[in-house]
Amino acid sequence: MTAVAAATRTPLAGHRSLQFRFGAVFALVLTLVLFEVLASGDDWARAGAVALAGGALTVAVATSRARAPVRRARAWLVGGFALLVVIGTAAGLIGAAITFAVVTLLILSIPVALVGGLLRLIRTAGVTIQVVAGALTVYLVVGLLFASIIAFAATVESSPYFTQGKNVSNGERVYYSFTVLTTTGFGDFTPAQPFGHALAVLEMLTGQLYLVTVIGIVVGNFAGRRTARDVQAQRSQSDREGT
C-alpha cells in the first residue's frame, strides 16, 4: 500500500514543483520587456538585460523535460555563463554588439527550453494556469525576437529603418515591435524600406495567428477544465445532499 501511494505521489509532486516555474519565467520575460523599453543603452542597462534574459532561460532550463541531474547541470551552465557576461558588460569589458548577440541568443533559447516542460506538464496535469503563463511567455519572446531582427536590419542598412529618420533606441524598437505584434499601430514609427514593410506584415500575422490558435486553444481548454471541475463538484455535493 505504501509503495502504491508513493508511486502515485511521485509524478504529481515532481510536476507540482514544475508548475510554478512557468509563472516565474513569464514574470522574468515580462520584466525584461519593460526593462528594455525603459532602460538606456548604458553598460548597466545592457548588463541588466543579460541578467534578466539569463535568469529566465535558467528557470526555463530547470523546467525542461530532461532528467533532474541534466536539468541542474544545464541550469548551472546557463546561469554561470550569463553571470560572466553580466560582470563583463557592467565592467565595460564586453561591447554592445556582443551583448546584443548574447541577449538575442538567450531569448531565442527560452522557448526551446520551455516547450518540453510545457508538454510534460500538459500530459500530466492538463492545461493549468502555469501552462497559460508558459504560452504567454512564448508570445513575449516573439516580440523581443522581432525587435532584435529590426535592430540588426537597422545596423546593416545604409538608410534609416524608419521613415522618421532619427536614431531609434533599443527601447523604442522593442516598443515598436510590440505595437506591431499586437496590431495596435500607433503610427509614431513606420518602416521606410520594403524589408521593414514585409517584416511588419510577418510580425502582425505571427502575433494574430498565435493568439487565435495557441493562446485561444490553451485558454479555452483551461476554462473548459475549470467548468468541468465545477460541474463535478456540484454533482458530488448534490449526491451527498441526496443521501
User: CA of 176: how far to CAs of 52, 105, 143, 171, 231, in Å?
Assistant: 21, 21, 9, 9, 44
Provide, rounded to the nearest whole percent, the portion of the chain with pLDDT above 90. Answer: 58
The pLDDT assigned to 6 comes to: 41
Q: To which H or E segment does residue 133 belong?
A: helix 129-156
Where along the chain do its domains lie?
2-242
Q: Length of the chain, please?
A: 243
pLDDT at 5 exceeding the cut of 60: no
Return the sign of the alpha-carbon dihedral for residues 31, 35, 36, 37.
positive
pLDDT at 43 exceeding the cut of 50: yes
Rounded distance, CA 96 to CA 83, Å?
16
What is the band of 180 on the pLDDT scale with cuts at 50, 70, 90?
very high
pLDDT at 183 exceeding the cut of 80: yes
The pLDDT assigned to 33 comes to: 97
Quick one: average pLDDT of 113-141? 87
Collapsed DSSP state (helix, strand, coil) of residue 162:
strand
Rounded distance, CA 200 to CA 205, Å?
9
Residue with cell 531582427: 149
What is the band of 9 on the pLDDT scale with cuts at 50, 70, 90?
very low
Quick one: average pLDDT of 158-171? 86
Task: Find the angle CA(228)-CA(117)-CA(15) to the nearest 5 degrees.
Answer: 60
pLDDT at 135 exceeding the cut of 60: yes
| pLDDT tens track for 78-114 | 999 999 999 999 999 999 999 999 999 999 999 999 8
Q: What is the overall mean pLDDT for the chain?
A: 85
